[in-house]
Amino acid sequence: MSLDQQAVALKHKEGQDSKTRYLAVASGKGGVGKTLLSINMGKCLSDGGSKVLIIDADFGLSNIHLMLGLNPEKTLSDFFYGRAEFKDILVKVNDNLYFISSGSGIYELARLPGDQILNLVRRLQELSEDNYDWVIFDTPPGIHEDTLMVTSAVDIPVILTTPEPTAVADAYALIKILNRESGVESFYLLVNKAENYREAEKVYESIQLLAEKFTTAKINFAGSIKYRKNIIRRIINQNPFDSSLMEEVYGVLKNMPLNLKLREESFWQRILTKIFKR
């Protein structure tokens, strides 16, 4: 099936522009706080009146449900294989915030027949664009193929790191691969577990310097999140929302183009293109 045919198949509302924005939180390594930040970004946006869907795409260590104390009976993988409807895989956090666990990963779509892929992606697009202002992907750490596919297709790719040297090196490696292999030109770098703003700024400057020298990527500094000893206890208690943390997340979101002009090609069309090029 040609890409033109795929594009036509995705235009479920002829002549109506989508309002939905797509954001991915990615990291070069695990343990940097990606899931915690994804959840708190979703909460901040939903508290501001936006309808938000978080997709837990980290199928190897899927844990959004654990942090929230909510247990999904079905996953996106069950939907792919006809074992569940959308109503079965959506988990409500509050009136404006929902999440989906991906199960075996979004790239599992590529194993299905082409016409089935088109149908499922069209339905995912309808779910997202008929109901949500924001879709946030919590991606697998590192250079997993799901991470590369999703992060290269979203409107706002957020790269999360900590000041730890290995985390910084891995964050830069992820940026370099996304830039060279997927053509991603603009990234938003967020530094978690920083002692202070200056430490986070130094991390940004080091990655920016490497990116300027060896890639064509533009690194935008989204800000920093301080290290908090109490957050582990909150996660254990399945209450990951902390007022001071959320204040910092609000500040981070202000550094991102939340009202950006959407690209002509939809997020789901970009996903289809990547799947069919495999």
Percentage of the chain beyond pLDDT 90 is 48
User: What CATH number is attached to the domain comprising 184?
Assistant: 3.40.50.300
pLDDT at 65 over 80: no
Total structural domains within the chain:
1
Q: Does residue 194 fall inside a structural domain?
A: yes
Residue 195 structural domain? 19-257
- DSSP 8-state assignment for residue 145: H
Count CB-CB contacts under 10 A for residue 278.
8
pLDDT reported for residue 45: 96
- The answer to whether 6 and 118 have CB atoms below 8 angstroms apart is yes
User: Which residues make Cβ contacts (< 8 Å) with residue 4, sequence separation at least 6?
Assistant: none
Q: Does residue 105 fall inside a structural domain?
A: yes
pLDDT reported for residue 275: 77
pLDDT at 18 over 70: no
Q: Does residue 274 fall inside a structural domain?
A: no
- pTM given for the model: 0.88
Nearest CA-CA partner of 153 in 85, 55, 48, 64: 55
Q: Does residue 220 fall inside a structural domain?
A: yes
Q: Does residue 163 fall inside a structural domain?
A: yes
pLDDT at 5 over 50: no
Mean pLDDT across the chain, nearest whole number?
A: 85
pLDDT reported for residue 3: 42
| 91-122 pLDDT, tens digit each | 899 999 998 887 656 666 666 777 777 877 88
pLDDT reported for residue 165: 97
Q: Does residue 249 fall inside a structural domain?
A: yes
* Residue pointed to by tokens 């940026």: 175
- Section 232-237 average pLDDT: 70
Q: Does residue 164 fall inside a structural domain?
A: yes
Q: Does residue 62 fall inside a structural domain?
A: yes
| 179-200 pLDDT, tens digit each | 999 999 999 999 999 999 999 9
Strands 97-101 and 218-226: unpaired
SS3 210: helix
Strands 91-94 and 97-101: antiparallel
Would you put residue 15 in left (φ > 0), alpha (ψ -120 to 50) or beta?
left
pLDDT reported for residue 83: 87
pLDDT reported for residue 103: 67
